[in-house]
Every structure is written in C-alpha cells, then in structure tokens.
Amino acid sequence: MNVNKNSQVRDIYDAVADPTRRKILEMLADVEELPLYEITEHFQMGRTAVSKHLTILKEANLVVTRKVGRETRYRLHAAPLKEIQDWVSFYEDFWKKRMIKLNQLLEEINMKPDVSLDFQFTNSVEQVWNALTDSAMLAKWIWNNDFKAEVGHKFQFRAEPSEWWDGIVDCEVLTIDEPNSISYTWASAGETTTVVWTVAKTDDGKVNLRLDQSGFSEETKAREGAIEGAKYAWTEMGSNLAKVLA
C-alpha cells in the first residue's frame, strides 16, 4: 500500500465539509481498515453513494485503499489533516488572546474607574464620534497618532517629549460600538490602563461624552497627585475638543 504525497487533487477543506465524510473519517480512525460494505451499514444510503464519498476522501489523500481479492478496503491517512489543525490552532490562539483582553476589560469596567469625566457638546453624536475615531481629528485635541478604528489595531499617541517622559503612549483598540463607545489600552511610563469613551444623547438634546480610565496600579494611586494629574490632563484635552468641535 503506497501513499503518494503528490496524489492529492481535492482540497481537504472541501473533503471534510460534508458530515457524511467526517463520519467516515471518524469510523476509520477507530479501526485499522474497513471494506465498503461495512462502512455502508452505518448510513441510510446505498453503496454507490458511500463509494462516491470515499472517492472524494481518496482524492484529498485522506484515505488509502488496498485490494483483498475482489474487495477494496479503506484505511485512514490522517497526515493531511494537520493543515486543518494548524489553521484552527492559529485562530484558536487569536481568539484566546482576544478573550483574555475582553475579560480584563470587563473586570476593569465592573470596578469603579480611577478617572471619570463628563464633557457636554451641542454637536451631533456623529460629529463627536468622528472626533473620537478620526486620526486627523484626534491629533487636534489629543496628540499625533496612527489610530485606526479597528479592533485589535495597535497604535501610538506621540506628544512632545520631556526630560521625564518620552511622550509616547502605546495603545490597542479593544472594543468598538459605533457610535456609542470605544475603548483602548493606554500604556505609558510603565503604567497600562484602559480608556473607555461613551457617547450618549442627553434629555436636553446635547451630547454627553464620558471618559472612564481604569487600571492604575496601587502604587500610582497611592502617589500624591497622580490621579489628579491624570484628571487635569484629560480635562485639558476635553477643552481642546470643545474648541475643535466649536
């Protein structure tokens, strides 16, 4: 019985897309080999239909055959399935990282934010949302940046450096609920926090923009003036935003 690595003529994803063919693979995984008539016994279809499914699996190099007299016996050849395993593993790792970050965000949301500020504007929700998510607009009231409104996008805010700070804030977009809220990490000077912006209409027709920043270390919170300094900085940015939107 020979397995030719160059004999695969059918895409393995197509081959395993059908539930009947997946069941055949599961059956063959439990035994050394099976003849066609024994495989057919497990399905409500004739030998011809089952044979067609086996042909597709053989074309994808997922089963191999050998002749025993007039009988053809089928055996699993699992090596090509590693391609699917690698593909699934990649996305499993991707979503695992996303879930870890989401859990961190939910934990921070459930806690009282370290910094909370509200800003009100007479502009439309769309105008305020644009100021939060357009890179050029953000540069006018926060700092220069390479922001993109895409979950998972990593970007930086770049301020004028000083003798005690390099002026760089590393960020990653965590969630987007247009035009209601957006959140991203805010990492600078060894401190990583989460910033959440929430946009909502008020009863008097204005737009309320709420900032919540969470995740400051206990050491930072214990340092005199640290949280107040953060509030002052965001208040200044809020004033800049009001001028931009005016």
pLDDT band at 234 (very low <50, low <70, confident <90, very high): very high
Any idea which of 87-91, 124-128, 185-189 has the lowest mean pLDDT? 87-91
| CATH number of the domain enclosing 65 | 1.10.10.10
pTM tops 0.75, yes or no: no
Number of residues that make up the chain: 246
pLDDT band at 8 (very low <50, low <70, confident <90, very high): low
- Provide CB contacts within 8 A for 137, sequence distance 6+: 130, 131, 244
Q: Which two tokens stand for residue 234?
A: 């965001």
Give the pLDDT score at 131.
97
Domain tally, the chain: 2
Give the pLDDT score at 9.
59
- Give a yes or no: residue 130 inside a domain: yes
Q: Which pLDDT tens digit goes with each residue over 13-36?
A: 888 888 899 999 988 888 888 998
Q: Are residues 119 and 70 in the same domain?
A: no
Output 227 or 1, whichever has higher pLDDT.
227
- Please, what is the average pLDDT of the chain? 88
| CATH number of the domain enclosing 178 | 3.30.530.20
pLDDT band at 110 (very low <50, low <70, confident <90, very high): low
Q: Are residues 54 and 147 in the same domain?
A: no
- Give a yes or no: residue 97 inside a domain: no
The segment with the largest mean pLDDT, out of 71-75, 115-119, 202-206, 222-226, is: 115-119
Mean predicted confidence (pLDDT) in 198-212: 94
% residues pLDDT > 90 (the chain): 52
Asked if 174 contacts 157 with a C-beta cutoff of 8 angstroms, the reply is no
Asked if 180 contacts 199 with a C-beta cutoff of 8 angstroms, the reply is yes
Q: Which two tokens stand for residue 98?
A: 């996303």
Domain assignment of residue 54, given as a range? 12-79
Q: Are residues 186 and 115 in the same domain?
A: yes
Residue 92 pLDDT > 80: no
Measured CA to CA, the distance from residue 21 to residue 117 in angstroms comes to 58
Mean predicted confidence (pLDDT) in 62-70: 88
Q: Are residues 168 and 62 in the same domain?
A: no
Q: Are residues 194 and 116 in the same domain?
A: yes
Asked if 182 contacts 176 with a C-beta cutoff of 8 angstroms, the reply is yes
* 163: amino acid identity, one letter: E
Q: Are residues 235 and 172 in the same domain?
A: yes
Q: Are residues 39 and 145 in the same domain?
A: no
Return the biggest CA–CA distance within the chain.
Answer: 88
Query: Residue 62 gets which letter from DSSP?
Result: S
- Provide CB contacts within 8 A for 20, sequence distance 6+: 43, 45, 50, 53
Measured CA to CA, the distance from residue 125 to residue 140 in angstroms comes to 18
Phi and psi at residue 117, to the nearest 5°: -140, 145
Give the pLDDT score at 1.
45
